[in-house]
């Protein structure tokens, strides 16, 4: 009878483990939902921390320019180099400017910029707020009469939500510039001819969809980073875990949102 009882105990433990995992998942989803609702309530209620929002916009936008510029430029060059042999087989290298503009504006610029922001800005938010949480600085702000959620969370989420669309447009232009330099080196295409051909294929819907993507991605990165940092625990290990989890969740959600938005835009198109 002992082996049977042992099997029953193992089965019960597996079921309890699975049920705890399911409960933990839905409890986490509920907490994130409450966090987002709290953000919107705090964002529209005075007082407004305009100075801190501007400071965060500077940190998120201006300090990300070198990395975004380098990545966008390399993306444009690499994509052009990879696309040329395929078009050359059909004698259609003249289509390169149109192909580059469509690929960069529609997909590469929003996705690449969002992934960079998730790794740089999202991890920084998680680590910064996490360190403040475990060292009880957030509790000290509450005691001093400051609203830590509005000052720390709302300002950061708004900053990255506002700045990421600007960074995406900037990345798109830099990427197209990299593509132009590569095309000019091989086909001697003029600057005017390249951009005339490139912008003929870009519609208002393409630019709008990129801006919408960037806004959604920015909000996701801000919420993920701030949520993980604001509720960090277990000391320095919790800070590292918050930064890492913020990046992983942000990137996972970015790909899901990319897929959903593309389906909606294609249905409109």
Over the chain (269 residues), the average pLDDT of each successive run of 10 is: 50 57 76 90 86 90 89 91 82 81 90 92 90 85 82 92 94 91 83 84 88 94 92 82 90 93 88
CA–CA separation, 114 vs 56, rounded Å? 17
CA–CA separation, 155 vs 223, rounded Å? 11
Question: What tokens appear for 252 in the block?
Answer: 């996972």
CA–CA separation, 176 vs 69, rounded Å? 11
Full-model pTM: 0.87
CA–CA separation, 134 vs 15, rounded Å? 34
CA–CA separation, 54 vs 269, rounded Å? 36
Q: How is the chain split into domains, by residue range?
A: 1-41, 49-268
**What's the confidence (pLDDT) of residue 2?**
46
Q: In sequence order, what are the residues at sequence separation of 6 or more whose Cβ sits closer than 8 angstroms to the Cβ of residue 6?
A: none
Q: How far is CA 255 from CA 18, 78, 249, 260, in A?
A: 27, 22, 10, 9
Q: In sequence order, what are the residues at sequence separation of 6 or more whose Cβ sits closer than 8 angstroms to the Cβ of residue 165?
A: 210, 211, 214, 215, 218
**What's the confidence (pLDDT) of residue 49?**
84
**What's the confidence (pLDDT) of residue 18?**
64
CA–CA separation, 114 vs 169, rounded Å? 12
Q: In sequence order, what are the residues at sequence separation of 6 or more whose Cβ sits closer than 8 angstroms to the Cβ of residue 211?
A: 165, 168, 169
**What's the confidence (pLDDT) of residue 251?**
93
């Amino acid at each position: 009878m002992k082996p049977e009882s042992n099997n029953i105990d193992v089965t019960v433990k597996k079921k309890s483990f699975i049920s705890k995992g399911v409960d933990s998942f839905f409890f986490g989803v509920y907490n994130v939902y409450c966090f987002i609702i709290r953000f919107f309530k705090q964002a529209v209620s005075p007082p407004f921390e305009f100075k801190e929002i501007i400071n965060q916009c500077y940190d998120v936008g201006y300090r990300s320019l070198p990395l975004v510029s380098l990545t966008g430029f390399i993306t444009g060059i690499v994509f052009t180099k990879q696309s040329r042999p395929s078009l050359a087989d059909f004698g259609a290298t003249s289509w390169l400017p149109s192909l580059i503009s469509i690929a960069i504006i529609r997909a590469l610029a929003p996705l690449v910029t969002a992934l960079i922001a998730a790794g740089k800005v999202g991890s920084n938010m998680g680590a910064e707020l996490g360190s403040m949480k475990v060292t009880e600085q957030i509790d000290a702000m509450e005691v001093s009469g400051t609203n830590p959620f509005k000052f720390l969370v709302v300002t950061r989420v708004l900053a990255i939500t506002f700045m990421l669309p600007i960074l995406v447009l900037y990345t798109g232009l830099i990427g197209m510039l990299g593509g132009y330099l590569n095309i000019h080196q091989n086909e001697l295409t003029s600057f005017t001819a390249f951009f005339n051909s490139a912008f003929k294929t870009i519609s208002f819907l393409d630019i709008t969809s990129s801006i919408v993507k960037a806004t959604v991605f920015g909000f996701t990165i801000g919420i993920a980073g701030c949520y993980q940092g604001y509720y960090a625990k277990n000391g320095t290990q919790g800070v590292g875990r918050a930064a890492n989890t913020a990046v992983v969740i942000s990137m996972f959600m970015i790909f899901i949102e990319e897929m959903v938005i593309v389906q909606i835009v294609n249905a409109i198109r």
